[in-house]
Amino acid sequence: MEYGIGDILQLIGALGLFLFGMKVMSDALMELAGDRMRAILATMTSSRPRGILTGFLITSVIQSSSATTLMVVSFSNASLLTLTGAISVIMGANIGTTVTAWLIAMLGFKVSMSAVALPVVGLGAILMFLKKKSWKQWGGFIIGFGLLFLGIEFLKEALPDIEQNPQALAFLTEYTSHGFASVLLFLLAGTLLTVLMQSSSATMAVTLLMTAKGWIPFEMAAAMVLGENIGTTITANLAAFVGNFRARRTAMAHLIFNLFGVVWMLAAFYPFLQGIAWLEGKLGSPSPYAVAAAAPVGISLFHTAFNLANTLIMVWFVRPMARLVSWIFPEKAVPERPIEEPKYLREEALKYPETALAALEQESRHLFEHAVVEIVAHALNMHRKDIFSPLEVKKVVRGSREDLGADVRELYLSKVKRIYSEIIAYAVHAQSDLPLSEAQHGRVSELKLANRKMVEVIKESNELHRNVTYYLKNPHPEMLRQYDRIRKKMVKVLRAIAGYPSKGEEASYANTLETLSREATGDIEVGNREIDQLIRSNEITPEMASSLVNDHDHLGDMVQNLILIARVLYVNGSLAGAPGRPEPLSGSGAARENP
């Protein structure tokens, strides 16, 4: 029997059907439970055991370690996962991917799926025509499941028996009879095949079928499994290439973890396989060395035992691994630009609701903590470093009596406008393109409102800037005292708001903001009474009084807006599940009237 081009195309088609079934099933499961799984991924990785369990469960459900790893890379890129948490999830994903091998070994070989696969696909098609969205998603899952095993059936038929095609065995024998060199060769083959197909599950299916048909011996199939463990890391590293240093660290940790496992397994390769054969014998199966039909179970045992052992070894070295990849990919300072650009609003973060929310929160916090606070400080002719220094408030104000020459509008145009516009556009895309929950949709609206309030704060600071600067250049004793009081108030407010809370400290921070809000309301009443008294005593002119009244109102609006911004950014909490605040760096619609 000759194995011609038609047979090869049939083999490729069967493999394509398997891959398509895997994708349909995985996509349907992500639609069904993706939001819950991503929420779990973002919140259950506080300890290594939880992270490993999370990675195992998610990969077992969606049947794709690559999909889990891509989620982990995306979440790391958005700072939703710490590096140690991400490494733990990857370890669990490696264990979870062994479930696929067991499904194929137990159902693909023990049970003939050809009689039930088409009825299963038919049932899924019926569900796809129902109106309820969840039934449609279950229909997609069932269709994918049926196509996956139909693909395996076609693969089994497409691979010829050695008895009918002995020349194929002779061809392979050339490469399987060189001892450990053959092991390395088949390891390389497993790596390349996984890279080409971008699916370790597909490579695993081919490996199991080849060893079940007797094309390759048990130990060569085990070597291909090791190669698959290396090849599957390529997907994550390609995805991380366009990400930031956090994503690259996570992908590199995945590669190091799997490479280390392959290295020590190669050192213990033959004794480990003997142990697998002994264990399979204890379970009542013949030796995978002697009977090809027993090899799929043996390979599944090897795959599971190897990944479990590698995780049990490497779980103790998560922190050293994190330090190593942090050294390989250090954090890089962002160069200063004439016009500030968004730092976190990357297109890849719009793939998931959680990462999009994290990007919006981080960009909003960065804009507020740097550009907005700096503009407010300069508008009142003070340096930010002085405001947040240990100096007493009155010394900060008295030491800042010179005109800094700040152009508030120019600062807005160069440091805020571009980023603000991008944040609003990004938020609109998130709300219209992503399946946000009601709570997530509300969170995005809150962030839009906070950014709109930042623009209003800058506008109010521009109004204050005129008179503060005027009375610094043309000192009037009483007016200078009044504007110094306004500046003192702003220093106190900025210092209080800058006590950004860590996880668990939000309640105390909220109380501080509430106190500030009450004080601000009282200050306006006190200030107005004092201005009336100054007019009656002829210490200031009516024109001066008018400026003071307006500026007290501007100050009150600024304080209340700053408090609202702080509540949204630091108290209301991240629905994306970020572990604390991001490390500091050194509403809808467009903005209202620009400053």
Residues 429-473: pLDDT tens digits? 999 988 888 888 999 999 999 999 999 999 999 888 888 888 878
C-beta pairs of 98-103 under 8 Å, 24+ apart in sequence: 98/300, 98/303, 98/304, 98/307, 99/59, 99/60, 99/63, 100/63, 100/201, 100/204, 101/204, 101/208, 101/299, 101/300, 101/303, 101/304, 102/300, 102/304, 103/63
Residues 376, 461 contacting (CB under 8 angstroms): yes
Question: For residue 147, which amino acid is it?
Answer: L
pLDDT at 506: 78
CB-based contact 175:182 (threshold 8 Å): yes
Tokens (6 digits) for 457: 């704060």
User: Rounded to the nearest 5 degrees, what angle is found at the Cα of 475, between the Cα atoms of 470 and 478?
Assistant: 110
Tokens of 229: 């463990």
pLDDT at 576: 45
Tell me if 517 sits within 8 A of 553, measured CB to CB.
no
Residues in the chain: 595
Q: Tell the burial category of 337 from Cβ atoms under 10 Å away from its Cβ (0-12, 13-18, 19+).
A: exposed
| Closest C-alpha to 210, from 115, 286, 108, 304 | 108
Burial 284-296 (b: 16+ CB within 10 A, else e): ebbbbbeebebbb
Angle at 506 between CA 501 and CA 507, to 5 degrees: 140
User: Fold for domain 347-571?
Assistant: Methane Monooxygenase Hydroxylase; Chain G, domain 1 (1.20.58)
Hey, what amino acid is at 371?
A
Q: Judge whether 359 and 349 are in contact, CB under 8 Å.
A: yes
Q: What is the pLDDT of residue 310?
A: 93
Estimate to the nearest angstrom the gap between the alpha carbon of 547 and the chain centroid.
Answer: 49
Alpha-carbon gap, residue 272 to 284, rounded angstroms: 19
Q: Is 331 a residue whose pLDDT tops 70?
A: yes
- The pLDDT confidence band at residue 588, using thresholds 50, 70 and 90, is very low
Average pLDDT, the chain: 80
pLDDT over threshold 70, residue 532? yes
Confidence of residue 308 (pLDDT cuts 50, 70, 90): very high
Residue ranges of domains in the chain: 9-328, 347-571
Whether 573 and 356 have beta carbons less than 8 Å apart is answered as: no
Q: Give whole-number Cα distances, 404 to 208, 396, 465, 487, in Å.
A: 74, 14, 11, 14
Question: pLDDT (tens digit, 9 = 90+) per residue, 100-109?
Answer: 778 777 766 5
- Top pLDDT among 292 and 54 is at 54
H-helix or E-strand containing 525? helix 506-536
Please list the alpha-helical segments (H only) found in 78-217: 83-96, 98-103, 114-128, 133-158, 166-176, 180-197, 200-212
What is d(CA 37, CA 41) in angstroms, rounded to the nearest whole number?
Answer: 6
Could you give the percent of the chain with pLDDT greater than 90? 16
- Quote the CA–CA distance of 72 and 80 in Å, as a whole number: 9
Tell me what the mean pLDDT of segment 564-577 comes to: 74
Q: Residue 569 in 3-state DSSP?
A: helix
Taking the CB of residue 527, how many other CB atoms lie within 10 A of it? 21
For CA atoms 59, 61, 66, 68, the dihedral sign is negative
